[in-house]
Structure 1
Amino acid sequence: MTKLRYSRFLLSGHIFLILSVIWALATADVPAGQRSGCPAKCGDVDIPFPYGVGKECALHDGFNLNCTTVEGVEMPLAGHIQVIKISLANSTATLNTTAISWKCYHPATGTMNSEKGWLNLTNTPYWISEVDNTVIVIGCNTLAYMRSSAYVIGCFSTCEGTALENNTCSGAGCCQADVPKGIQYYEGYFNGNYNNTKNSQDISCSYITVMEKAAFNFKTSYVKSTVFYDTYKGKVPIVLNWQIAESACMDAKNTSSYACVSNHSACVDSTTHKPGYHCKCSDGYEGNPYLAGGCQDIDECQRLVNPCGDGICKNTLGNYSCSCYPGNYMTNGICVPIQKTPSRFQAMPVVGASVGLVVLVIAVACACLIQERRKLRNMKLAYFRQHGGTILFEEMRSQQGADAFKIFSEEELQQATNRFSEKQVIGRGGHGTVYKGLLKSNVEVAVKRCMTIDEQHKKEFGKEMLILAQINHRNVVKLLGCCLEVEVPMLVYEFVPNGTLFDLIHGNHGWRISLATRLGIAHDSAEALSYLHSGASTPILHGDVKSSNILLDDNHKAKVSDFGASILAPTDESQFVTLVQGTCGYLDPEYMQTCQLTDKSDVYSFGVVLLELLTCKKPFNLDALGQEKSLSMMFMSAMKENRLEVILDDGIKDEDNMEILEEIAELAKHCLEMSGENRPSMKEVAEKLDRLRKMMHHTWLQQNPEEMESLLEEPSAMAHSTIVSDQYFSIEKKAVTNLQSGR
């Protein structure tokens, strides 16, 4: 336990990591190449360029290492963090970090000690590898989660009901969760409502950390003692991906700092949330693509296994060729002896045997092909049944109006999206990737490939799809169909062309968004959520309401989308969500404490969207200080101190608008109440926004009767007006007539 007390000091090493790996490419345009006289190793670790010991040896500050002797052992450090391994082929670096969050209960003293671990790689060329790492939670009755700037991911481990087993981390004493893609920052948290202190007679500890999958092997002793911390000596290995610069290959090739300097090297675009690139040697070559002449030809013929079998192997640049020794000839890549020509009578049995062999080979090949096709067909049928496809199909036939919903084949969606080409990607999120597609009927669609699906959703998927297919509301993105013959079902939605509300607000387009447009978008979105909560045949909780899940059509009419975190409203209080999901900045604090999603959770998230519309600020700002990190906390503080005008967007601050703005702000305040019972329903929110919109238009008519009259005389001008909405055209026309007649 003494070692645990030093973890606070070790944790400070992350601060030095951030200070030492600041990415300085914005101010440095240094031509790539090896620096002479630079050490190639530090201790047992190879230091290949672009890494280097000292600034003069590294490509830039992001790859600058210190070679230091610690307790008699020479090791490379990034800041104060030990570097274990660097891989050029995979563009990864493995580090020993102290980012372990822990809490331990001591029954002898009745005290609970704890420490929070975190890692910040923001503004560096690194991010956490989602392939090589995993989120680990250890403990009894422990709910913990990893929070980043965009995700909250966690799981629940328990020691009740299931025996703990070594090498098994599936919920009993230990659970795991996948690391999202492109994460550069995370903190480990425990939910205080879950702990093992009451019944524990011995020291008991809980942990959460992100570490390399291959380095972790669960032991039952980790739960009841400090063994986990002691085993890893307070440091766990984590694999980081890296890239050379924040430029795509197409742009980087035109700069003097382009790093792929070796012949036979290739530039590879990064697949994270932002552009970047790294280098690799071309096929048939190996070595260092960041050095002139660093990629060397692979001599395949000198490998332990001759690629030509018993033949003669000849190496060529980037490849090899095979030939046979005299007296042999090559068939199907194999050298066989040349047989002497037999007589006519001798040849007949040989010819017959050859023909028979050919027929046998063809028959076996056809049988294998048929078997493989049958296996594929059976596998697709199994997935179809597993996801409730049979029930869904029967219900579609029996229910009126269900024929609008279609069950697509995998081949149909592959053709529509050009085999799920990266060029067709229009969005990525925590639940999957969305592709733009064109069906054979020339209908544009959005195809969503989900990442994972839990066992409960697999059983209920068919029924839930039928319910979602019956949603018919102008402000909800229409679900057109699904594909069930794959391991994780794919969803097909109508295509909405004008991007997201997040892009409109934060995209820096330089376009002024009128208050009328913002109020219209808010009302449309509220109407959609109200419909989901109380107007649908089965109430639906969205679960991830945010501005990036509100799509806009060409007329800026809002449509709520992305039901990846949605659930059907619970029918009894026993239903419980063990995996906390959502987006940081929008999450209902009551949901984070109880893990029970309610309709009031959507109300809270919608309140944050209202704040975005009022302030044009993002819901969570990692670079800000204190409560200014959270838009909702900053807003509640401003309302309490009567400083609303300070945080409002300058584009809508106007004396004529202040009454409307104050009403919207008051509505947002009610939506953000800490207790869900004190928040309004989405139906009440939609009705309030509708009244405010009508009041705003009525005020505009009274102040501008002459301009309104001219607009009414020119319908084409009205169609493009950002001040007056089309759907109120008839109401406003009647109001002008009343004004002109003196009524």
Structure 2
Amino acid sequence: MHLLNLIKSIFFIILYNNVDPSFSLQHYRGSQYEACIFNTSTTCGKSSFKISYPFWGNGRPEYCGHPGFNLSCHRSNLKIKIMSRMYNVLSINYNTSTLRIVSEGFSQGECPQPGHLLYNTTLDLDLFNYTSNVRNASLYYDCPELKHLGGAPFSFDCKGSYLNRLSFLVITDSWEHELGDICGIKLYVPVFRNAYEDLVFHPSSRIGDVLKRGFEVKWVIDQGQCQDCYISGGCCGYNMSLGQSICFCQSGSYPTVCPQLIAQTPSKGMNLEAKVGIGVGAAAGLLFIMITVFVFVRSKKDYHSSSPLPSQKIPPSLPTILEEKSSYFGAQLFSYMELQQATNGFDPCKELGKGGFGTVYHGILDDGREVAVKRLYEKQDKQVVQFMNELEILTRLDHKHLVKLYGCTIRSSPELVLVYEYVPNGTLADHLHGHKAKLRSLPWPIRLRIAIETASALVYLHSSDIIHRDVKTKNILLDINCSVKVADFGLSRLFPLDVSHVSTTPQGSPGYVDPEYQQCYQLTNKSDVYSFGVVLAEIISGKPAVDRNRNRQEINLSHLAINRILKRDWSGFIDPKLKVKKNCKVREQVIAVADLSFKCLQATSETRPCMEQVLQSLKNIQGEESVKDVVVYDVSNNATAVFNGSDYPISSLNGNDNQVCENIDEFI
């Protein structure tokens, strides 16, 4: 349709120029030229701006600019809307095609003004890209006092506003584990690189000054034709019906450039029919040329559609990897625009959670499928390799308790994105100690089933020579039947078959990381066993893995579990919502799982069971003869031991905890 409309336009332009140069349409098109060529400045408040293509608005007609570059003046600030968000325009540089803007909420400093909503900065990447002068920063608001974070992020407060607790500005995500779970709000905000450096090296600099300076974006719409138009004496505009730029000239409007002015003399021997014949012939010739060009361009486009990512969007060392893997991954390819639309422009309101390398959003595809869209934070070598690692892993896995991969964006995508099945019932963390726990507590049979299903997924991974490395309750998703889907392979690594461990920089989530791995960089499948031991402790206690409100020795749930299981102090460990006083069988199963958790939490990997043994023990606990069949461990004789990173001796079963519930009130 676009080609047809273009041909029609060219046809009538040629007829018009050959038949009747004085036709009244010329005057109309000339007026468009005048409206755009002379209306090139605007004043907003005390500031004046030069306005030319692709911008329009604030008195400049719409056809003089691109639809995505509408400017308006409000309260003495020139503004532009990008992805439904308003930004103040600070400067426009036509030589570099760059725009300096600042979010409305931060135009006065680090504390958002009343009435301004807080939102992440999201660009329409078909129109804009960040420049190399920009770094991504994270703002954490509504945080508690954290004295142990001295010398860490830049802190500030917003007293007198609704964000009346401590806040932080950081550049890297290394503080996500410290701040992500305890601060009320987290935002991603781009800032100028040199502004942040001023903050680092000049103590007198203020965070508000960094944010008020805004950030720089480059508009990326194709303006090659516009340069030719300007050279030919015209000015660029936009044809809404064709969806492309157009050249306005004194003699009318043309697709690309203004025609050369040739002195016209009366044509005595050329009548109207001859002129029409020339015009029709020229139009027919152009029609043939346009069809030829169209077919050529389409064939080139189809050829390039198989290339995964444009070379300028990814590190130069990776195109070969991408080309090799794309041929056998078998994952569905999505356009970036499709996923933008599915998530409403990656709306923060659709955010499901954050993983080690990206943020996950809820989306609805054109075919009606609900999906979880994982968008990586930045395009860096490490993250692109991680993306390909995750893609390779997920496409070859098939287990009912692992989240399924639907596809990814590769071809011509400005960002790296994975598309998963959507699991609608939140995470296990939500149900144990999050917002869903306040509505309804998970009964013990469901908690035990969740433990078994999670263990079965990890057994499958280990049998496939894959270590998850980020096992935690936030990565255990639940469907409407509370059935498990283990998610987020953002930290997964394939480990070689010919070695027993992998040496790598420790990663993972605080409270779940294997102490042996943390100290010695020795990664084995027993690292997942340790993390799963923490998950079992959460299932039993309903407590989070890390809680800074607990006493110092028990901030980590693993420490608390070890201490309480050693002392058989169940009253400070077992979730009172389980009501074990009223149910002997539940009590027996909970204690058995607690002892299994203790075994998983041993400090050295050699003394921990493997996941196959853990799974079998859980199945035995769930069965009719649970207490008789399962091997549980009594360490009550070591009640005075203090957790110091050493393994605890495991003695034979002590029958006291597993007698019929005779003195249950004393027990808990």
- TM-score, normalised to structure 2, is 0.52
Give the corresponding residue for 1:428: 353
CA contact (8 A) 1:388 1:461 kept: no
The 10-residue stretch of structure 1 (364-373 or 515-524) with the greater mean CA deviation from structure 2:
364-373
1:498 maps to which of 395, 419, 425: 425
Give the corresponding residue for 2:620: 691
**Matching of residues 562-711 of structure 1 within 5 Å:** 562-571=488-497, 572=499, 576-578=503-505, 580-622=506-548, 626-655=552-581, 656=584, 657-695=586-624
CA–CA distance in structure 2, aligned partners of residues 679 and 91 of structure 1: 41
**Matching of residues 237-252 of structure 1 within 5 Å:** none
CA–CA distance in structure 2, aligned partners of residues 481 and 376 of structure 1: 20
- Report the CA distance between 1:567 and its aligned residue: 1.2
The 10-residue stretch of structure 1 (376-385 or 609-618) with the greater mean CA deviation from structure 2:
376-385
- Report the CA distance between 1:651 and its aligned residue: 0.7
CA contact (8 A) 1:532 1:540 kept: yes
Question: Structure 1 residue 507 and structure 2 residue 423: aligned?
Answer: no
2:186 maps to which of 169, 182, 185: 182
Change (3 A) 1:679 1:52: same
**Matching of residues 454-465 of structure 1 within 5 Å:** 465=391
| SS of residue in 2 equivalent to 1:559 | strand
- Report the CA distance between 1:647 and its aligned residue: 3.0
Change (3 A) 1:350 1:420: same
2:561 corresponds to which letter in structure 1? Answer: F
Give the corresponding residue for 1:148: 177
- Report the CA distance between 1:454 and its aligned residue: 6.7
Give the corresponding residue for 1:232: 201
**Matching of residues 139-218 of structure 1 within 5 Å:** 146=175, 148-149=177-178, 182=186, 213-215=193-195
- Report the CA distance between 1:522 and its aligned residue: 0.7
1:674 corresponds to which letter in structure 2? Answer: A
**Matching of residues 431-580 of structure 1 within 5 Å:** 431-432=357-358, 433-438=360-365, 440=367, 445-451=371-377, 465=391, 468-482=394-408, 484-486=410-412, 490-505=417-432, 506-508=434-436, 509-534=438-463, 536=464, 539-571=465-497, 572=499, 576-578=503-505, 580=506
- Report the CA distance between 1:483 and its aligned residue: 5.1
Unaligned runs of 5+ in 2: 1-74, 76-103, 116-134, 141-149, 158-162, 213-229, 236-247, 311-318, 629-668
CA contact (8 A) 1:92 1:241 kept: no
Unaligned runs of 5+ in 1: 1-32, 34-47, 61-89, 96-114, 136-144, 153-180, 185-209, 218-227, 244-305, 312-323, 395-404, 700-743
| SS of residue in 2 equivalent to 1:472 | coil
- Report the CA distance between 1:542 and its aligned residue: 0.9
- Report the CA distance between 1:495 and its aligned residue: 3.9
- Report the CA distance between 1:343 and its aligned residue: 3.4
Change (3 A) 1:383 1:330: closer
Post-superposition CA distance 1:122-174 (Å, at most 9, x none): 965886678xx457xxxxxxxxx54633679xxxxxxxxxxxxxxxxxxxxxx
- Report the CA distance between 1:570 and its aligned residue: 3.4
- TM-score, normalised to structure 1, is 0.47
Give the corresponding residue for 1:117: 152
1:583 corresponds to which letter in structure 2? Answer: S
Change (3 A) 1:435 1:636: same
Change (3 A) 1:666 1:215: same
Post-superposition CA distance 1:270-319 (Å, at most 9, x none): xxxxxxxxxxxxxxxxxxxxxxxxxxxxxxxxxxxx9xx999xxxxxxxx
CA contact (8 A) 1:52 1:59 kept: no
Post-superposition CA distance 1:81-119 (Å, at most 9, x none): xxxxxxxxx999999xxxxxxxxxxxxxxxxxxx85344
Change (3 A) 1:460 1:427: closer
Change (3 A) 1:417 1:359: same
1:117 corresponds to which letter in structure 2? Answer: A
Give the corresponding residue for 2:332: 408
- Report the CA distance between 1:464 and its aligned residue: 7.2
CA–CA distance in structure 2, aligned partners of residues 465 and 94 of structure 1: 30
CA–CA distance in structure 2, aligned partners of residues 464 and 52 of structure 1: 41
1:647 corresponds to which letter in structure 2? Answer: F
2:473 corresponds to which letter in structure 1? Answer: S
CA–CA distance in structure 2, aligned partners of residues 121 and 540 of structure 1: 43
- Report the CA distance between 1:610 and its aligned residue: 1.5
CA contact (8 A) 1:386 1:458 kept: no
- Report the CA distance between 1:525 and its aligned residue: 0.6
2:353 corresponds to which letter in structure 1? Answer: R
Change (3 A) 1:691 1:573: closer
CA contact (8 A) 1:437 1:447 kept: no
CA contact (8 A) 2:533 2:600 kept: yes
CA–CA distance in structure 2, aligned partners of residues 93 and 469 of structure 1: 32
CA contact (8 A) 1:476 1:559 kept: yes
CA–CA distance in structure 2, aligned partners of residues 211 and 683 of structure 1: 49
Provide the aligned C-alpha RMSD in A: 5.9
1:552 corresponds to which letter in structure 2? Answer: L
CA–CA distance in structure 1, aligned partners of residues 386 and 139 of structure 2: 41
Give the corresponding residue for 1:331: 253
- Report the CA distance between 1:479 and its aligned residue: 3.6
More helix by share: 2
Change (3 A) 1:692 1:121: farther
Change (3 A) 1:667 1:183: farther
- Report the CA distance between 1:533 and its aligned residue: 0.8
CA–CA distance in structure 2, aligned partners of residues 417 and 212 of structure 1: 26
- Report the CA distance between 1:569 and its aligned residue: 1.9
**Matching of residues 3-42 of structure 1 within 5 Å:** none
Change (3 A) 1:468 1:240: farther
- Report the CA distance between 1:456 and its aligned residue: 7.8
| SS of residue in 2 equivalent to 1:381 | coil
CA–CA distance in structure 1, aligned partners of residues 431 and 292 of structure 2: 56
CA contact (8 A) 1:551 1:559 kept: yes
| SS of residue in 2 equivalent to 1:651 | helix
CA contact (8 A) 2:534 2:545 kept: yes
CA–CA distance in structure 2, aligned partners of residues 546 and 490 of structure 1: 22
- Report the CA distance between 1:531 and its aligned residue: 1.7
CA contact (8 A) 1:407 1:483 kept: no
Post-superposition CA distance 1:469-511 (Å, at most 9, x none): 3433332223455554355654444443333212222224421
- Report the CA distance between 1:632 and its aligned residue: 2.3
CA contact (8 A) 2:139 2:168 kept: no
The 10-residue stretch of structure 1 (687-696 or 373-382) with the greater mean CA deviation from structure 2:
373-382
CA contact (8 A) 2:452 2:618 kept: yes
